[in-house]
Structure 1
Amino acid sequence: MMEAKLDSTADAVAASLREMIANGELTGGERLVERDLADRFGVSRIPMREAIQQLEREGLLETFRNRGAVVRMLTAADVKEIYDLRALLEGDAIYQSVKQLDDETLARAELVHRLLDDASSTTRQGELNREFHALLYACCGNARQLKAIAELRGQVERYERLQNTLLADTPSFQLEHDAILQACRERNARGARSMTIAHLNSARATVMQLVEDD
């Protein structure tokens, strides 16, 4: 029972750290001080250490012998690899999902799309953007694929949120979402896949620019 409690605590801490990285509160290259973070979250060092190990497995942190865990900084090569994989996995996920997509899931995705227009913060934009894509991939029937997609997204999410800030006054990414939704409405699996890959390539170009400017 105690072990289950520690696991749930570690998962909760990992979720909080993941969000701190995604919203830029913990920046690339920043060192995580276990003791300070354990005090901040009011937990013991054991679940904190487990949360850090979890994020390291997801590619968000790197551990160095003398410095401990630091937020991983991405190179242009990292970004290329991540988006190449995302295009394969997300393109296939939506291709498989569209065939099984029920009207209720599609209606929820359309609602999230409308809410994105009015999102007042990059954090909210990020959450809604993640939910929009998750809904459209949900019916692909491959839980491992969805987990891999979530982890790859997590590795670049902080850069994508910067992208959302840059695009806050323009409808660019919403127009791409419109095209994806239209293909889903028509149950056009090939169209949905090509629109999703085009959308990821737009994000890749902006993220690549941000990484190269660092």
Structure 2
Amino acid sequence: MSSVILSTADMLAFELKNLINNGSLRDGDRLVERDLASQFSVSRIPLREAIQKLEREGLVDVYRNRGAVVRTLTVHDVDEIYQLRALLEGDAIFQSLQYMDSETLTRAELVHKLLGSASESTQQGQYNREFHELLYRKCKNQRLLKMINELRAQIERYELLQHRLLSETLKFQDEHEHILNACLRGDPAAARDFTVEHILSAGLILKSYMTNR
């Protein structure tokens, strides 16, 4: 069984994402290469590659005279991202369900139950991501799945840092239940419709949070 070997730049990009998502690096903060290279005990070459990777993924902006800064998303940005996510994720689950196997559905049921009993925000986020990834994974369009992951990455820090979304876990569990039941009865159209409704619902909650924070 082959394993993926990550480059130093990939590992640095992963660590920088964590710093952004947990709030250590906030919107508008500069990514000072000298300081970060010292912090991670690496040269500035792989660090620069990692920052370029985050720029391509929409997490940072790079300016000629200012360097790299954590990108600040507006409510309009969030609206665009969730509109795209709804379209792409609805299509992904529709395609995936045509090739779904019982093992994947059983795992999705388990993750759904674990999410319902989770109380810690990071754990909730992990289970939520795994639930959706399981139901999309049989989609044959890898470019579609890559686009979904990139859009999620752009918004993840806002979902983790705001509390109103977490207070809606029970509501999300009900929406997940509708999605899962549609999958269990083999109804791709219903699974797509419930997924679109669920993503747009999450977007509305997050936009409300960003407007009022």
Same fold (TM over 0.5): yes
Unpaired runs of 5+ residues, structure 2, are none
**1:80-99 superposed matches below 5 A:** 80-99=79-98
- Specify the SS of the correspondent of 1:140: coil
Contact kept, 8 Å, 1:163 with 1:203, in 2: the verdict is no
| 1:21 equivalent in alignment to 2:12 | no
Contact kept, 8 Å, 1:94 with 1:140, in 2: the verdict is yes
- Larger deviation: 48-57 or 125-134? 125-134
Contact kept, 8 Å, 1:163 with 1:206, in 2: the verdict is no
How far did residue 98 of structure 1 move?
Answer: 0.9
How far did residue 207 of structure 1 move?
Answer: 1.4
How far did residue 163 of structure 1 move?
Answer: 4.9
Contact kept, 8 Å, 1:62 with 1:70, in 2: the verdict is yes
Contact kept, 8 Å, 1:106 with 1:136, in 2: the verdict is yes
Contact kept, 8 Å, 1:23 with 1:123, in 2: the verdict is no
Q: Work out the CA distance in 1 between the residues paired with 2:160 and 2:193.
A: 23
CA RMSD in angstroms comes to 1.9
Across the two proteins, how many residue pairs are aligned to each other? 210
Q: Which residue pairs with 1:72 in the alignment?
A: 71
1:130-166: CA deviations, max 9, x gaps?
Answer: 1111111001101111000000011111122245664
| 1:124 equivalent in alignment to 2:123 | yes
C-alpha change, 1:204 and 1:119, in structure 2 (3 Å) is same
Q: Which runs of 4+ in 1 moved over 6 A?
A: none
C-alpha change, 1:120 and 1:37, in structure 2 (3 Å) is farther
Q: Work out the CA distance in 1 between the residues paired with 2:42 and 2:196.
A: 41
Contact kept, 8 Å, 1:159 with 1:210, in 2: the verdict is no
1:173-199: CA deviations, max 9, x gaps?
Answer: 111111111111011101110111111
Using the aligned pairs only, state the percent identity. 58
Q: TM-score, normalised by structure 1?
A: 0.91
| 1:9 equivalent in alignment to 2:8 | yes
Unpaired runs of 5+ residues, structure 1, are none
Q: Which residue pairs with 1:112 in the alignment?
A: 111
